[in-house]
Chains A and B, each alone.
Chain A
Amino acid sequence: MKYARTVAALLLSTLVLACVFRDQLTPVGYDHQDRNIPNAFRSRQHLLGTDALGRDRLARVLEGTRVSLVLAPSAAAISTVLAILIAGTAALAGGWVERLTASGIDLFLSLPWLFLLVTVRALLPLNVSPMTSAVITFSVLGCLGWAGAARLLSAQLSWLRSRDFILLARASGCGGFRLLRRHLLPNLMPLVYAQFWISIPTFILAEANLGILGLGVSEPLPSWGSLLRELDSFSVFGWNLWQLVPLALLIAVVSCFHLLISKGEIAA
């Protein structure tokens, strides 16, 4: 197990390094179209071949990885903070507010989130740069993805709230968000960390799903979702094996995260 975690950590850090030094690794930018060699097989110039528009696949995979690896944790952070605030407010207020929040969370979880996401995305302004659209997509994911974490945190908070030390903190004159921040949160942190790490791969996959539908990050910026769309026609014949690289990477990264999380949970 420990060996696997080391490998996972190594793999992730190699990937991060490759993303940082992507300009050195690839001859052309991710959006450079060489229209004379679309769908090329691997060559010395293009280590993973080119996509349908003649763009270097390696450059696109690295750029897409960078986008996903930077933005997915940010989305995870947004959703975790939202979950803390919502669950925390409910726990502090107690009574009908807490009951209302609990049913609100249940309602939110039962919503067809993909549909919701598509609707929200359709309402966004059209004239945004691809990078902004990527940020918006992940922010929307983050803003919509808090409910699961909130439910877990709520349960933990309502248990914590009945503990003596919280009673004592109240008896010392502590209340409101101070109580949440200074007394509840430190006890919540292990769970919060776990939620954060777990939601990173979730958001990567969510964006990939959106991308497969063509509703993810906009062209020419790649993301794992849009890279995976290449596999749409994979079931038919004559595919290029190197098209599988993004899928392999996605599976590898998500598994790495899960390995590292399981470690985190044991430590907590």
Chain B
Amino acid sequence: MTPLLALNLSASYGGKSPVLSGLSLEIGRGEILGLVGESGCGKSTLALAILRLLPVKNAYVEGSIEFNGRDLMLLSEGEMRRVRGKEIGLVLQSPMSALNPALRVGAQLEEAWRVHQRGTKDARKRDLVSALANARLPHAEEFFRRYPAQLSVGQAQRVLIAMAMLHHPALLICDEPTSSLDLVTQSDIVELFRELKTKLATSILFISHDLLSVANLCQRIAVMKDGAIVECRSTKDLFFDPQHPYTQQLLRALPAVPRFAAKAAAANS
């Protein structure tokens, strides 16, 4: 079976040294792939590169992004717009700044719906309600009327997840979705992703600098350093038999107790 996404990318900002240098990665259908690496190694760049949003940030990208049987690099901007949000969803790190402060929750969701769907008010309402339910959010009128500033951070992140999942994309890219959350909320959100994967069969690229939560959620983990993947193996293999010195370094940095948890998680999968 062909992977959902297979890419090989190089990218650089404004003629400087490359941020991504010949990076290759594959994600299978229904798979949650973790991507770990230290801050500034190009993880977020990769997320934007897949959606071809890097030109907005004046970056130059080359390579191929095989997704669902076609190369996204060859699509026109108009065709690409239909892929974004519809086939590939994105969740960003900081929920408060990722929501439009001038729009009510309901308006933002409606807008995200309208970009790719046409239909009656009822159909829209049904989709929004089910998306909110999937993200375990209340779908009361009062909630729709709130402004982002009136939400808790956890709620905001759920709204973003609901928005990203609105059109049931085949792939969800999560760029550090939990790193700005407190521990309890973090585990809630991780739990939510697991649920989504099971319920909606969505593939997830889970980008994080936090090896633990990644290990908790993913079957496979890719380790990234200096714009390239240095090691990509199943979670179990990675934890028990790290090959690359950098992976070993990462693992050594983990506190002792969670290592058991990680091992347990790996054993479960």
Contacts and interface: CB of A to CB of B under 8 A. Distances in A.
Contacts, number: 69
B256 interface: no
Which of A163, A167, A168 has the largest number of chain B CB atoms within 10 A? A168
Interface in A153-193: 163-165, 167-175, 178, 182-183, 186-187, 189
A21 B56 CA distance: 56
B85 A171 contact: yes
Contact of B98 (A164, A173, A178, A187): A164
A120 B48 CA distance: 48
B220 interface: no
B102 A186 contact: yes
A199 B214 CA distance: 55
A21 B90 CA distance: 59
Contacts of B116: 173
Interface stretch (B21-29, B75-83, B233-241): B75-83
B92 A167 contact: yes
Interface string A77-97: 000000000000000001000
Interface residues of B, number: 29
Given A167-B56, A178-B115, A173 B84 contact: yes
Contacts of A175: 77, 81
Which of A94, A165, A174, A189 has the largest number of chain B CB atoms within 10 A? A165
B100 interface: yes
Interface in B65-109: 77, 81-86, 89-90, 92, 94, 97-103
Contacts of A165: 97-101
Interface string A221-260: 0000000000000000000000000000000000000000
B56 to A, nearest CB: 7
Contacts of B99: 165, 168
Contacts of A169: 100, 111
Which of A164, A170, A173, A186 has the largest number of chain B CB atoms within 10 A? A173
Contact of B101 (A174, A182, A187): A187
Interface in B238-264: none
Can you list the 10 inter-chain pairs with the closest CB atoms, starting with the nearest? A172-B85, A186-B102, A173-B85, A171-B90, A173-B84, A164-B97, A165-B100, A164-B98, A187-B102, A173-B115
Given A169-B111, A172-B115, A175-B77, 8 more contacts: A164-B94, A164-B97, A167-B92, A167-B98, A168-B98, A170-B51, A182-B111, A186-B102
25 contacts: A94-B56, A164-B92, A165-B98, A165-B101, A167-B48, A167-B92, A168-B99, A169-B111, A170-B56, A171-B51, A171-B53, A171-B84, A171-B90, A172-B85, A172-B90, A172-B112, A172-B164, A173-B84, A173-B85, A173-B116, A174-B81, A174-B85, A174-B111, A182-B111, A183-B100
